[in-house]
Amino acid sequence: MIRHAAPALFSGLCLLATVSAHGGQYRGPGWGVPPGARSPLPPSTGGPAGPAAPIPGPNTGGRPVSPDTTSWQVWWEFNKEIYLGRRRVVDEVTISGSDDFYLGKRRAEVRIDLLSPTEGDLRDRVVPALAALLAQERNRDIQSACLIALAKIGRDGPGIDLEATMTPRIARDDQEVRETAVLALGIAGRKAALGPLAALVRDDGEGRRLVDRLEVGDRTRAFAAYALGVLARRSDDGGLKQQVHDLLLPLLGDPETDDRDLRTAAVTGLGLLRGDTDSASHKRLAWQTVEELMTWYQRDLGRGDELVQAHAPVAIARLLGRGTSVLHQRCKEHFAAVLTASERRSNAILQSAALALGMLAVPAEQNAADLPFSRALQTYYERGHDRQARSFCTIALGRIGGATNRTWLLTAHARANNATERPWTALALGLIAHAARQADAIDTTIAQLLLEDLRSASNDDVRSALAVATGLCGDSLAVPAVLALLREHEGDERPAGYLCVALALLDDPSSAPTLSEVLERSLRRPFLLQQSAVALGCLGDKDASTRLLDMMRRSDSVAALSAIAIAIGEIGDARSIDPLIAQLRDEDLSKLARAFVAAALGGVGDKDELRWNTPLSRDGNYAAAVDTLTNGATGVLDIL
């Protein structure tokens, strides 16, 4: 599993020498290692990893410790895909960042002149190259990278059956490879994966045969549960969705299922059942699952189980979506009551209640009955004790939108603590303005306010947040100021990277020359390299991938290789296929470098507009994470 990175406390990528190509996606402070840090463990050799004990972190580095989930950067890194969605050559491209984009609806936008790979490119060239390397090399990094790359492409090749290629790796003597193979079956999204994944979740005879062990093990079962959810979300088959429901729901009521990872995976998987389709039968199943999850969530299972129960509000909101039905109102009333109750609940429950309201409620101007839900979020922000829940309240208000919330957020921003609160209020205002932008209007009041704050910011962290928020507004008048700030702060990798993100969000091609210059100077600054390259890809720069391939040939830095591979994959230019395949076959390259090349090929051939785990990461409560969900290294949210 290739993991991808983005910066925060440390200027640089977490995919450093401390992390394998399968490594960890840096989501913010504590989710990575600063540049130059030494790996406390030697690089992986691909040999046996012993019995099926969970791997606590990437084999080539130490596990991140105490990630600072209260940082705005962590929220952004988990949610940015819908705002920075990859552009491809299609006649109509959905506006990135809108709920329509997330739900798969289409809205016309300017055509971007990139060269997307053809079906023949993928079937006849990329898949055989990846499958050949997978068969030749037992190295953990290469195995994991090739499995995820093949899954993202999701196609057979000549004489290559995807499921038949993946399934034997479930019995590997390496826990990481086994988990990757299980998850890859779901990412590929084909009905043939249902049988083996069901057997693994049930821990039956067939499942034990697949793992070649006396039992499947809860950790592997958890990955199978996540994979089933991903598979169900991709499918239009109502029968398949029902089977996934029937496999996952019993895990919540089984007294013998006390593993937090497995139950969290079951809740999360159930939350993906509805997917992009909205047929009557799928909607019935989704609403039935909401009722079942609410019943389980409201049970008193003890304080220790609230961490798992905290994932139910988000799952419920994903199944329902925004609306005003009787069931919607009942759920919203409960989550608002959690935030305003005198009896204090666990922080995880409070956080998820706030997130769920942000996904379910509509603006008061649209439905007056929803005003109390925005009021509950405002009240908790002003009086609540948990900093993370307070921050989520601001994001929820931005997600709900409307004139009343806009006015409140402007006031909250004016009086916010500069270092801790202002990044969150700025992002929430950016979300309000972004919604206006999606309706073909620019909220000039918010855009000008945030730009002035950006110009005057003296703190790097606040400057970075304001850059992103300014980009979300989409006001092209901000471009000259952002470009000037990028030139001024290019030496500070973190804010410079987020200024590149702002330019990508502002979507003005006049930024391309400056971004190209920054890219050329950033070979030793991987986060800035990645962000400038991705920004160029978003702006439709046809030469960005060519320059990145040249940089890949010149680089001997693991951090740079990881950043380049990620950027090449996200740009998705078919012209990079031949050079990447050549490097994939180059035995003079290190195994880790070849694994990064495999990851890049998977990105170029990705069948999805957005990263496969975006439905899992968007609006999720990462602060209530269990190890298999996210730990910055081996969780499903950490995988490219």
Under-70 pLDDT residues of the chain? 1-67, 86-114, 276-278
Give 67's contacts (C-beta < 8 A, 6+ positions apart): 27, 28, 29, 30, 31, 74, 632
Q: Which pLDDT score, from 0 to 100, does residue 302 have?
A: 86
**Residue 267: which H helix or E strand, with range?**
helix 260-270
Interatomic CA distance for residues 460 and 346, integer angstroms: 32
Residue with tokens 């290789």: 561
Give the pLDDT of residue 86: 59
93, two tokens: 């491209």
Q: How far is CA 8 from CA 170, 349, 470, in A?
A: 35, 26, 18
Contacts for 60 with CB less than 8 Å, ≥ 6 apart: 17, 18, 19, 20, 23, 39, 41, 42, 43, 44, 141, 592
Question: What SS3 class is residue 222?
Answer: helix
The model's pTM: 0.88
- Cβ partners under 8 Å of residue 306, min gap 6: 345, 346, 348, 349
Distance CA 225, CA 490 (A): 44
Task: Tell me the backbone φ, ψ of residue 235, rounded to 5 degrees.
Answer: -90, 145
Sequence-separated (6 or more) residues with CB below 8 Å from residue 587? none
Which of 298, 338, 264, 360 lies closest to 621, judged by CA?
264
3-state secondary structure of 493: helix
**446: which 2 tokens?**
């918010």
Q: How many residues does the chain have?
A: 640
